[in-house]
Structure 1
Amino acid sequence: MKLVVVSAGLSVPSSTRLLADRLTESTVRRAPGTDVEVIELRDLAVEIAHNFVTGFPGPALESALESVAGADALIVVSPVFSASYSGLFKSFFDVIDKDALTGKPVLIGATGGTGRHSLVLDHALRPLFGYLRAVVLPTGVYAASEDWGAEGLAERIERAAGELVALTAPREEAASAGVPAQDRGDGPAGTTGGAPRTVGSIEDRPLGTGSLKDRVVPFEQQLAALKVR
Structure 2
Amino acid sequence: MKVVGVSGSLAGWKTNVAVHHVLKAIEDLDANIQKELIDLRDYDVEFVNGSPLAYYNEDTMNVVNKVLSADFLVVGSPIYQASISGALKNLLDHLPVDAFNRKVTGMVTTGEIEKHFLVSEYQLKPILSYLKGLIPSSNVFIHNDSFSEENEIIESEVLERINLFAKEMISLQNSIEQRN
TM range (shorter): 0.7 to 0.9
Q: Equivalent residue for 2:169?
A: 164
- How many residues align structurally? 172
TM-score, length basis structure 1: 0.70
Selected match of 1:48 from 41, 46, 60: 46
Segments of structure 2 that go 5 or more residues without pairing to the other structure are: 148-153
Cα RMSD (Å): 1.7
CA drift at 1:97: 1.7
Secondary structure of the residue aligned to 1:103 is coil
List per-residue Cα deviations over 1:48-91 (Å, max 9, x = no partner): 22x42755221122122112111110011001011010111101
Instruction: Tell me, yes or no, if the aligned pair for 2:45 and 2:91 is still in contact at 8 Å.
Output: no
The structure with the larger Rg is 1
User: What CA distance in whole angstroms lies between the structure 1 residues aligned with 2:133 and 2:61?
Assistant: 20
| 1:155 maps onto 2:152 in alignment | no
Contact kept in structure 1, 2:9 and 2:78, CA below 8 Å = yes
- TM-score when normalising by structure 2: 0.87
Output the CA distance in 2 between the equivalents of 1:150 and 1:89: 26
Question: Structure 1: any 5+ residue segments left out of the alignment?
Answer: 175-182, 185-229
Runs of 4+ in structure 1 deviating by more than 4 angstroms, as ranges, are none
Q: Which has the higher contact order (CA 8 A, sep 6+)?
A: 2
Q: Label 1:35 to 1:151 Cα distance change in 2 as closer, same or farther (>3 A).
A: closer
